[in-house]
Amino acid sequence: MEKDFEELVKEYQREKEAGAEAGRMTELLREIMEISYDGRLMYELALWYWKDGYPARAKRTCKQIRQFFREGEWADRAGETLSLLDGDEDLPEILEKTWLSGETAAEDAEKEKEAPRPEKNGSGPQIPPVIEEAFRGMVGMESVKKELVSFYNIARLEKLREEQLGISGNESRSYNFVLYGNPGTGKTTVARIIGKVLYALGIREKDAFMEVDRGKLVSEYVGQTAKNVQKALAEIRGGTLFIDEAYSLYKKDDAKDFGQEAIDTLLKDMEDHRSEYSVILAGYRGPMTEMLNHANPGFRSRFTYHIVIPDYSDEELLEIARSVAGSHHYIIEEKGYEALKKRIDRERIDETFGNARFIREVINDAEKNLADRLVKMGHFEQADLTVLKAEDIFPEEDQGKDLKELLAELDGLTGLAEVKKSVSEMLDKIAVGKEAERRGIQGDFGMGSLHMAFKGNAGTGKTTVARLLGKILAEMGVLKRGDVFIETTRADLVGQYQGHTAAKVKETVRSALGGVLFIDEAYALVKDESDSFGREAVDTLVAEMENHRDALVVILAGYTGDIDRFLAENQGLRSRVTRDLFFADYTAEEMTEIFCSLAKKGGIRIPEDVLPSIRRCLEEKASAPDFGNGRGVRNVFEAACRRKDSRIAARMREGAVLADEDFVTFTEEDMLV
């Protein structure tokens, strides 16, 4: 039957009073330490080690006391004793007499009754004090704690086997770590905790911790990179080296990059001096895995421990926000947390989401918004100085128009009857599917792929509709960022050398995540069968569309015939672009309406008797193959404005008397463009 802490302490006191041997005392104290770390008893363990002829173990235990308790009586006593041991002096006789003879047992027993002591956590693993203390006050991290406790236990087991059985630990084991995680998940904090644990266990001689990145290791000159790495390793001997964003050392498509020199130098030194320091690498999971697998055949094997640090949940991020605001002496109103959830949902798109870092930025911005709001208020109460409201966290100007306004704007566009019908049907399907999902109704209510082809001549409103549609889909909860609209062409996607194209496509897709990627004249991506770079762009685009199918909408735009041929020749795209919207040329009536709309926005009056001249002018211009529909109408309007100004200037030179309205009125003469 397992003994509890109090029973073991009583047994230890009885054995001590009975004058038991030092070996028996250390055995009992180690058993007590399995349950709880107690300052006085850990200090006595150090003294028993010294008495039993193990000064190295006594030193290590004193170091552990200072690490665990940091300050107070036991940390001070351990420091004093460690100084004596480091000086190769015998411990004063008073220490043995006072602490190992039992004279203080009765006095300290009362103190021990009052002192709070961590208890076992049910049947689950006990968290060692060094880890528990390091994570105190931190939100989440449960899976990380579990991984570190597992590491701690196996490392401690090896120490116990060596101390009690004389069995040396696994000499090939290296205490090096890889931390996989996205920005703001606490990788640096976890790395520092690992460094403390390594020191507390006596695996590392120092609690020194050095943080570096590519900029501090990689040089632009031949041979200098190796020197930078060797210098860092020399400085951190006995401690822990942390390399943040370590994947940046590996450039897959650049064999001449000096980052490879840094990896090779590090690898050799880790092999030659594996027991002298620990290395912790950190970064995104994908790039880190690629580096470990491909940078050097032996690189991955040097890292025994791999820990995945997950993103924070929404609830954990809200708790972090509460803590950050509280540290600045603010409180967040209840509606403010709803605003925070909207901000989090809008920004959490891919692995670049900033997690806790994002929350800190939001709170900082909210404080600035509060300051601006109070200035505008003029008069405010004292309580207003400490409350962050929803409008501070997610200002209305950042939220854009609501769904009703956006649909009215789409409906208000001139012409486009067929396009409006297609969009309406798509939005109806989305709305029905979401309501069915809310009610738990089973059936085929999926919206399918939302990637589209916008086909039509130039100037028919394809870009305008695409921008509006992105905002509408965001308001309906299909996309996260209605404000993200990336307009691109072949020049933005196709590179100039092997491997460049794929990187450009991936970077462009990443910039569009959460919103719309609009590729104008998409058929130009592949010029002909020999265009290998264009083919690479299409293949990469197809893969990215599949990888991020729920995170963005890709719209391919261009002339009808060209788009049809392009999709027919690229079945990977055709299978993912399932909606075709046809943008017809504007009729004469619609072009006239567009012209009048431009005039109204410009504050220009059009008399009724001038309208026929405008229509005739537009009909005549539209017969040219390169007119450009709406774009052509704007060109005609701007030309009419120039004619108007020249007409008025001529009359001014003639000394004519002009009314104010003459300056803002079109005449038939102005339409002779």
The answer on pLDDT for 104 being more than 50 is no
Share of the chain above pLDDT 70, in %: 90
pLDDT at 1: 43
CA-nearest of 240, 237, 201, 207 to 57 is 201
The answer on pLDDT for 88 being more than 60 is no
The answer on pLDDT for 105 being more than 60 is no
The answer on pLDDT for 111 being more than 50 is no
Tell me which range, 216-225, 280-289, 544-553, is most confidently predicted by mean pLDDT: 280-289
Each residue of 344-369: pLDDT tens digit? Answer: 998 898 888 999 999 999 999 999 99
| Confidence bin at 17 (pLDDT 50/70/90) | confident
The answer on pLDDT for 584 being more than 90 is yes
Task: Report d(CA 147, CA 60) in Å as an integer.
Answer: 24
The answer on pLDDT for 98 being more than 50 is no
Bridge partner residues of 283 (DSSP): 180
| Confidence bin at 407 (pLDDT 50/70/90) | very high
Q: Spell 326-363 as b/e; 16+ CB within 10 A means b.
A: eeeebebeeebeebbbebbebbbbeeebbbbebbeebb
pLDDT at 396: 77
Instruction: Quickly tell me which residue has 């949940």 as its tokens.
Output: 313
Q: How big is the CA angle at 91 (ends 89 and 95), to the nearest 5 degrees? A: 165
Q: Let me know if domain 403-583 sits in CATH 3.40.50.300.
A: yes
Domain ranges of the chain: 5-91, 130-308, 314-397, 403-583, 588-671
Q: Reading across the β-sheet that carries 177-180, which strands appear in turn?
A: 209-212, 240-243, 278-283, 177-180, 305-308
The answer on pLDDT for 418 being more than 90 is yes
CATH class of the 588-671 domain in this structure: mainly alpha
Q: Are strands 452-456 and 579-583 parallel, antiparallel or unpaired?
A: parallel
Which H helix or E strand runs over 184? Answer: none
- Answer whether 611's CB lies under 8 Å from 592's CB: yes
The answer on pLDDT for 490 being more than 90 is yes
Bridge partner residues of 387 (DSSP): 331
The answer on pLDDT for 406 being more than 70 is yes
552: left (phi over 0), alpha (psi -120 to 50) or beta: beta
> Are 130-308 and 403-583 equal in CATH topology?
yes
The average pLDDT across 65-85 equals: 77
The CATH code that applies to domain 130-308 is 3.40.50.300
Contacts of 5 (CB under 8 A, 6+ apart): 32, 35, 36, 117, 119
The answer on pLDDT for 112 being more than 70 is no
Maximal CA-CA distance, the chain = 126
Each residue of 512-560: pLDDT tens digit? Answer: 999 999 999 999 999 888 888 999 999 999 999 988 888 899 999 999 9
Task: Report d(CA 68, CA 37) in Å as an integer.
Answer: 9
The average pLDDT across 151-169 equals: 79
How distant, in Å, are the alpha carbons of 9, 31, 128, 322, 415 from that of 37?
12, 11, 8, 32, 78
The answer on pLDDT for 587 being more than 70 is yes
Q: Which two tokens stand for residue 441?
A: 């109704």
Task: Report d(CA 285, CA 179) in Å as an integer.
Answer: 8
Each residue of 195-216: pLDDT tens digit? Answer: 998 988 888 888 899 999 999 9
State which CATH number among 1.10.8.60, 3.40.640.10, 3.50.30.30, 3.40.50.280 fits the domain covering 314-397: 1.10.8.60
pTM beyond 0.85, yes or no: no
Bridge partner residues of 240 (DSSP): 209, 278
| Confidence bin at 414 (pLDDT 50/70/90) | very high
The average pLDDT across 428-432 equals: 89
**Which segment of 53-62, 170-179, 215-224, 660-669 scores lowest on mean pLDDT?**
170-179
The answer on pLDDT for 126 being more than 50 is yes
Q: If you average pLDDT over every residue of the chain, what do you get?
A: 86
Which H helix or E strand runs over 49? Answer: helix 39-51
pLDDT at 390: 93
Q: Let me know if domain 5-91 sits in CATH 1.25.40.
A: yes
Contacts of 254 (CB under 8 A, 6+ apart): none
